[in-house]
Amino acid sequence: MHNKEETKDWEVTLSYTKKCDDTYLIKNVSKENAIYIAENQNANSKYDCTLIKEDESDIEDEETTIKEIKLGDNNGCN
């Protein structure tokens, strides 16, 4: 006898992290301010802040979550 796998509807979530290294050139500020600007204000035109290098790594720590979806199931509500 041939065993046929039952088909259902599924919601599948792929969660992963990517390492991203952004290097900024920030002119004419203190060391503490340079860190703050890079982390929080890098798009603010008030500061002389230029993105000079952007590196992304491959996907790390991938995790897959899956749950069955019952279409048309209104949880007893009419």
Residues ≥6 apart with Cβ < 8 Å to 9:
68, 69, 70, 71
Quick check: 20 and 56 in contact, CB under 8 A?
Answer: yes
Give the Cα separation of 68 and 20 in Å (integer): 33
In a domain, residue 49? The reply is yes
Q: What residue numbers bound the domain in which 44 lies?
A: 10-69
In a domain, residue 74? The reply is no
Give the Cα separation of 35 and 49 in Å (integer): 11
Structural domains of the chain, count: 1
- Looking at per-residue pLDDT, the higher value among 15 and 73 belongs to 15
In a domain, residue 3? The reply is no
Q: What percent of the chain is helix, strand and coil (3-state, nearest 5)?
A: 15, 50, 35
In a domain, residue 54? The reply is yes
- pLDDT tens digits for 22-70? 999 999 999 989 999 999 999 999 999 999 998 888 877 788 888 877 8
Most confident of 11-15, 18-22, 25-29: 25-29
- pLDDT exceeds 70 at position 17: yes
In a domain, residue 1? The reply is no
In a domain, residue 38? The reply is yes
